[in-house]
Structure formats: structure tokens, C-alpha cells
Structure 1
Amino acid sequence: MSSQIHFQTHLPNPGRVYDYVLGGSHNFEADRQAAEFMISLVPSTRKWVRMLRAFLQEAVRLLAEEGFDCFLDLGSGLPTMEHIHSVVPHARVIYIDIDPVVVAYGREILQDNPRVRYLQADMKQPQTYLNAPEIRDLFGDQRRVAIGFSGVSPFFTADEMRRVMHELYEWAAPGSKMFATFETKEPGKMTPRLAQFLAMFEQMGQPFYFYTFEECQELVRPWQPDWRGFQPLVRWLNLPDDYITEEDREGAGIEFYGVILEKR
């Protein structure tokens, strides 16, 4: 780690917490303690997070096979543990995160990779990054792009998600696709441990929202699911049907869905 970047190592950082849960090494003791406390509240966290990263990798490979070589990823976190640029090293990738520490550390990890840019921007304010000179520099006039919306839906209110989906749709060229995940639970179901888990995010200034499956289908409009449709992550990843147990659903009917959306 470069001494030029000043980390508040005594405070947990969401990007480093995520790295730890994925099994990475770019984290500190405060991050590990926060992650383990979250896992103690919701033991299935580790399993779901690793499935989220596996879906990202699978979706990126599929889209690369379809000819996409420009990827715009929202709420990227640290570019570790086989993130997009590692899965498709020939592609041009723009990562976006609002956290200045994550961005600074991410840029250091990338080591001036000429095919990758890391922008500090609010994923909820598309005009702050869609008009950024780095996008024109890396993508040129290309607007048929693959957009990453993986693992970030819980941090959007419904109104924020509708607005961002519309703005990204208007910017992207026809034929563009978006790989997205959605964390759902059954309406009205909650447990004390899950409520405490959500309260942790509230305290970190990042409220966490679960949606129903039906709400997710409505919130992605005007994007449309491609021929694969919405599927639980276990199906995307060809995992056994019993890989997710009733205990993993945490008494609230938790399910994670993946989808590849398209602008037709």
C-alpha cells in the first residue's frame, strides 16, 4: 500500500469489507471485525456475496462473447478478486465509486492500466459521470455498452432507481445491455437479527433496501430483460437447487436474482 494514500484504518470501509467477505487481502482489522459482525447477524452473507461476484464474472463473460468491449460499472468497490478487467482483459472498463478512499486505493491497484479508468462519482447522479471526459477518452463515440448494476440495488430508493434507470437508458445506444442483481425478501417478513443488520448500514450512512421480485421487475423499466429473464443466482451459476437452504433465507424469504437487461 502506498504511503501517499492516507487510510483511516481504524474505521471500516464498505469496499474493504466487501473485499474481505470475498476472501481478499485488501482490508484492515476494522474491516474484518465489521464483516464478521455482519456475518454473525446474517450468516448467509458470505454465501450471497460470493454468488454476487460469481454472477458478475459470468455475466461479463457472456456479454464479451456477444461482442461487448466497453463496460461501465456502477458502485464498483475495490477492483480485486477477479473484477471485470481481470475477467475480460481485452475490454475497456470504467469503474465508478463515490468513496474517495476506495477510488484512490483502486487506482493504485490498477497501476495505470491503459484500458481501465476509475472515476470518483455518485452512481445515483448519472450526469456526473456520463459526461466525464474519461468516458469519451476511453470509449470514444461508442455508446453500445455493457453497464454493471451488480450488488448495488439495495442502496437505491425506489425513486432513485427509476430515475437512474431512465437516465442510463437515454444515454446508452440501442443494443446496450445491463447486468444487474436484486436482493429480495418476502413483504412484511423481518427478524431482529436482520433488522440489526439493516441498522448497521443505516449507521454507516448507506441505508439498505430490500424489494419484492415484482417491484424489481417494475423498477428496471424502460430496460427489458433479455431472453434469459430474471433468474435466481443459483440458476445463473448452475449450482444445486439445495445450495441455498431455508436457513440462508434468514426467516425473511431472502432471494437474490440476476438479469441481463437490454435497450431494444
Structure 2
Amino acid sequence: MTNQIPTGIQPHIPNVARMYDYYLGGKDNFPADREAAEQVLKVVPEIRYSARSNRAFLGRAVAYLAEAGIRQFLDIGAGLPTQNNVHQVAPGARVVYVDNDPTVLVHGRAILGKNENVTIVEGDVRRPAEILANPDVRAAIDFDQPVAVLLLAIMHFVPDEDDPDGVIATLRAAMAPGSHLALSHVAIDARPEAADGVTQVYDRASSPFVARTGKEIIRMFDGFDVVEPGIVNLPEWRPEPGAAVPYRGIGNYFLGGVGVVTDGG
């Protein structure tokens, strides 16, 4: 990263967005981020594959939603701009990227600030009512029309005391019929013994990591009609024609899916 560090960015504290960037092979990270990410890689060497699978899922999910007629997207916990950004997969759609990370906000505004279809907003997924009430969000998103809310690789940073199910319920209540939720979350079922080691690393980072089971992740879709193929390992969700789908559980530590609102929330 540049030697000129913007105000609010703490380069000496491992940052979850920059660690994720490192997993993806990006360069928007500092030594502290790389050191922490390498500690995670020692526990779960396949995490790079999982991160890339999550990013690929974003691209397929957004393409599916755009084909279904969705023209506005609210991406909460958007992270650093990288490949398969929402506005690239769904050009012409209105996109609001929400994040509370100074690194993400600075980079996002520098790269995307002139795109008239993109709005970048500071907000915290743990306070969804504030996001929904944000004037910039309201100006970009018409909640009387279908919207896609994206919660990709973010809810495992929301601890139980912040009521993750309540977060999603608040968002769902604001979503018109025909709206969709796309969600992905690390599931510990395949490697429960690794949860403690990963959690210990993230406890020293900008956000704690919360290990959850597949059953807990499935519950996050309560109130949505889940579209086929359901809530699955990410490479199994509508893979590109001809794409090889790895054996279930091999490096696939994310579960995810897409649900639709049919009753107005």
C-alpha cells in the first residue's frame, strides 16, 4: 500500500478487509495484515480457496439477480474493491456499497467516486436501522421496489450479542416483495477443530470472528424463500457450465445461498 496513510487507518492492527484482500492475492494490505493472515493459513491452508470461492459466488449471485430483474443492490460489508465487483457484474444497476472500515471507504471513493451509479456509504452491519435511514442510501435505493441485499462474508463478524438474526430481520422488513438476500458465511462443520485457532487470530484483528454451524447459517434465511439449489457449499451454487465442482467439504468452508421475499418482509 502507499506510504501516505489516510486518517483513520491503523496499519499496525490486523484488519479483516485487508486480510481478505491478502487471501485473494491483492496488494492493499500491510505487514500486520499479512502476518495475521499467514497465521490463519497455518491453521486452515485452504482459506485462500475459500475466499476465492466466495468472490466467485458473488459474481454468479449478482448475475443471477440481474437476470431476475433486480436493478438495485445494497452490498453491506462490501470490502475492498477487487474482481467481480457488483457494479461490474450488473452494469447500469444502482449499487450502494456499505462498510465501516476506513481502508475500504478511502479506496472505494478513490476508485469508484466518479461512477454515477455507485454510492459508497459508511455504515455498520450491526446497526441496520441506521443504514436503512441513511440519506445517501435512501437517495440511491427505492425500497418500494425489489432490491438485492448482499451479506457476503460479513455475518461471521457479527457476534451473538449483536443479534445477527435480528440484523437480518430488520433488513428483511424493509425489503419489498421480489427482493432478494444473498448471504455467505464460514461454516465450521468441516473443520470444527480449527475454529479456536482462527478465532484467536481474529480476536487480535479489527473484528472478531464467530464460528457458526451450518444449522445456524441456514436459520439466517428464516422469512425468505430460498431459491435452488438451496444453501450449499459455494462452488455448488449454480456453477458455470462445465466448471468442475470440488468434492464436498474440500476447502469449501463457506455456505451460502439466495432467498427471495414473497410477503413484503
TM-score of the superposition, structure 2-length normalised? 0.86
State the partner residue of 1:86.
88
SS of alignment partner, residue 181 of structure 2: strand
1:192-231 aligned at under 5 Å gives the runs 194-231=195-232
Q: Equivalents in 1 of 2:195, 2:169: separation in Å? A: 31
The structure-2 alpha-carbon separation of the partners of 1:190 and 1:139, relative to structure 1 and needing over 3 Å to count, comes to closer
- Using the aligned pairs only, state the percent identity: 32
C-alpha spacing 1:214/1:14, structure 2 compared with 1 (3 Å)? closer
1:239 pairs with 2:244: yes
Q: CA RMSD in A?
A: 2.4
Select which of 185, 188, 195 maps to 1:185: 188
Change (3 A) 1:170 1:35: same
Whether the aligned pair in 2 keeps the contact of 1:165 and 1:223 (CA below 8 Å) is no
Instruction: For 1:12 and 1:185, locate their aligned partners in 2 and report how far apart those are by CA, in whole Å.
Output: 22
Segments of 5+ residues of structure 1 without an aligned counterpart are 249-253
Q: Hey, what does 2:100 align to over in structure 1?
A: 98
Deviation digits for residues 152-196 of structure 1 (CA, Å, limit 9, x no counterpart): 121223461211111111101011001111322239x743x5422
Q: Quick check: 1:73–1:149 contact (8 Å CA) kept in 2?
A: yes
Equivalent-residue separation in structure 2 for 1:29 and 1:202 (angstroms): 17
Q: Residue in 2 aligned with 1:122?
A: 124
The code of the aligned residue for 2:177 comes to P
Assess, with a 3 A threshold, how the Cα gap between structure 1 residues 195 and 68 changes in structure 2: closer, same or farther: same
Q: What secondary structure does 1:26 align onto? A: coil
Quick check: 64-73 or 21-30, which moved more? 21-30
Q: What is residue 262 of structure 1 aligned with on the other side?
A: 260
Query: Any gaps of 5 or more consecutive residues in structure 2?
Result: none
Match of 1:171 in 2: 174
TM-score, length-normalised on structure 1?
0.87
Deviation at 1:133, TM superposition (A): 1.0
Q: Deviations over 1:208-257 (max 9, x none)?
A: 22222222222321223124321221212343343753xx4xxxxx7422
Matched pairs, number = 255
Structure 1 range deviating more: 84-93 or 67-76? 84-93
Q: Secondary structure at the match of 2:255?
A: strand
